[in-house]
A = this chain, B = another copy of it.
Amino acid sequence: MRPDKTTEQEKPAAEGLPREEERLSRVALMRMAEAGDPVMGRLIAEHGAVRACVNARRGVLPPEFVERERERVPASRRGTDLDRLVTSWAARYADPAADLARGREGGSRFVIPGDPEWPTQLDDLGDTRPFGLWLHGRANLRLSCLRSVSIVGARAATPYGTTVAAEMASSLGDRGWCVVSGGAYGIDGAAHRGALAAGAPTVAVLACGSDVCYPTAHEDLFRAVRAQGVVVSEWTPGSHPTRLRFLVRNRVIAALSRGTVVVQAAVRSGALNTATHASGLNRHLMAVPGPITTEVSAGCHALIREGKAVCVTAVDEIIELVGAIGDDLAPPRKGPPRPHDALNDETRRVLEAIPARGSAGPAAIAVAAGVDLATALACLGGLAAAGFVASGERGWRLSGARRG
């Protein structure tokens, strides 16, 4: 039996294993285990990354760990998947020093839990927390994500969707918020571009190595993101994207930010996978409505209908949700300003029920405003005191000064 070594990986270097050994182990684990593999996540949590790496490379796990893992799966599958998993880990080992050198030569840096730039909100991912992250870009990932919103959506977005994504991102940037997205065509790209246009940092979380440009047509975009924000990857440099990696990557987009806005998404769409992760992480989930005639808004409407996402139509409404309570309340949507904007809802309805010309009785005004007579009379009294209305022989009328 090995001695119990829990959470060793996050202790400062002075207390235990050298920091660089921890870093190299995590680079190696990135190749050996699939990103987000929860079995590996638990092995690291219990034995530290260095020991986990040694175990995985040998293909032999601590017996008590194996015991607990076997209890997690149905009896019928015990002894097959875990053995296969550990065998695959061992088979995929490669020299981490070479990976680290290659990444650094390409301009990326490798951050791990405990580093100053590590975004601690990723701890919410629990067993599926990334082993480490490759970062490429001028912005500090942790600081950028303190006030950040993810904007995601369909690759096959409409001009409406990309316009909304870009304008929301730009407006968030103006208000000091960082936009996180996935660097894809459509909504993602528009969101990054909007943030860049506002001179704000933006975070692109890729499903491939931080040195791989996918989609290739986004080479200029990624260059701009690196110059002003940061590109993030949990895969070894040179890794190419797969369908699985896009889905696995989405949990990081959801976890990095305080909330996720789905701008456009068909009913089956990767953006809805990000939405699922955001909900699971107790992050705010928001969706932008659009024409019901566009298939690519149907996923957003479904999220809203089912009460999974809040309907958002303006950046104020997004910030109200993700911002500090009380600090960032959204103003209610309103038409052009009018003198009676300050009135409360009932009083405003009573005022609006008074005819533009002539007079009306309080009973008729009450019915038109949808309030009871006593309420109407109370409101009319207040409105008269404020000079909005006057009472005459034939009932209540707008006072001359306020008629226009």
Binding site for B on A (CB under 8 A): 34-40, 72-74, 76-77, 81, 84-85, 88, 128, 160, 163-164, 242-244, 247-248, 251, 266-268, 273, 276-277, 280, 288-293, 295, 297-298, 301-302, 304-305, 310-314, 317, 332-335, 349, 352-356, 358, 360-370, 372-374, 377-378, 381, 393-395
With a cutoff of 8 Å between Cβ atoms, the chain B residues found around residue A243 in the complex are 355-356
Known: A288-B292, A292-B289. A39 touches B333 (CB 8 A): no
A164 contact from B36, B293, B310, B365, Cβ within 8 A: B293
Beyond A160-B291, A267-B334, 5 extra complex contacts between A and B, CB < 8 Å: A84-B395, A244-B364, A244-B368, A248-B367, A289-B311
Whole-angstrom distance between the Cβ of A96 and the nearest chain B Cβ: 20
Known: A276-B349, A290-B289. A305 touches B311 (CB 8 A): yes
Known: A81-B361, A244-B364. A314 touches B292 (CB 8 A): yes
With a cutoff of 8 Å between Cβ atoms, the chain B residues found around residue A39 in the complex are 363, 373
Whole-angstrom distance between the Cβ of A1 and the nearest chain B Cβ: 25
> Which residue of chain B lies nearest to A303 when distances are taken between CB atoms in the complex?
B311
Whole-angstrom distance between the Cβ of A104 and the nearest chain B Cβ: 27
28 A-B interface contacts by CB (under 8 A): A34-B363, A37-B361, A37-B367, A38-B366, A38-B367, A39-B363, A39-B373, A72-B373, A73-B373, A77-B377, A77-B381, A81-B361, A84-B393, A164-B293, A244-B354, A244-B355, A267-B335, A277-B370, A289-B292, A289-B297, A289-B311, A290-B290, A292-B313, A292-B314, A295-B335, A298-B313, A304-B304, A305-B312
> Which residue of chain B lies nearest to A363 when distances are taken between CB atoms in the complex?
B37
Whole-angstrom distance between the Cβ of A297 and the nearest chain B Cβ: 8
Known: A164-B292, A164-B293. A333 touches B301 (CB 8 A): yes
Q: In the bound complex, do residue B34 and residue A248 qualify as a contact, i.e. CB atoms below 8 Å apart?
A: no
Query: Roughly how many angstroms separate A251 CA and B361 CA in the complex, as a whole number?
Result: 18
> Which residue of chain B lies nearest to A338 when distances are taken between CB atoms in the complex?
B268
> Which residue of chain B lies nearest to A281 when distances are taken between CB atoms in the complex?
B370
A313 contact from B305, B354, B393, Cβ within 8 A: B305
> Which residue of chain B lies nearest to A40 when distances are taken between CB atoms in the complex?
B363
Query: Roughly how many angstroms separate A77 CA and B376 CA in the complex, as a whole number?
Result: 12
Whole-angstrom distance between the Cβ of A94 and the nearest chain B Cβ: 18
**Residue of A36, A247, A302, A356 with highest tally of chain B CB at under 10 A:** A247
> Which residue of chain B lies nearest to A263 when distances are taken between CB atoms in the complex?
B292
With a cutoff of 8 Å between Cβ atoms, the chain B residues found around residue A305 in the complex are 310-313, 317
> Which residue of chain B lies nearest to A298 when distances are taken between CB atoms in the complex?
B333
> Which residue of chain B lies nearest to A396 when distances are taken between CB atoms in the complex?
B81
**Residue of A76, A85, A301, A312 with highest tally of chain B CB at under 10 A:** A301
Q: In the bound complex, do residue B374 and residue A72 qualify as a contact, i.e. CB atoms below 8 Å apart?
A: yes
What 8 A-B pairs have minimum CB-CB distances, sorted nearest first? A289-B289, A34-B364, A247-B368, A36-B367, A292-B313, A37-B363, A301-B313, A304-B311
With a cutoff of 8 Å between Cβ atoms, the chain B residues found around residue A358 in the complex are 242
Query: Roughly how many angstroms separate A361 CA and B91 CA in the complex, as a whole number?
Result: 14
Q: In the bound complex, do residue B34 and residue A302 qualify as a contact, i.e. CB atoms below 8 Å apart?
A: no
Known: A72-B374, A242-B355, A313-B292. A34 touches B333 (CB 8 A): no
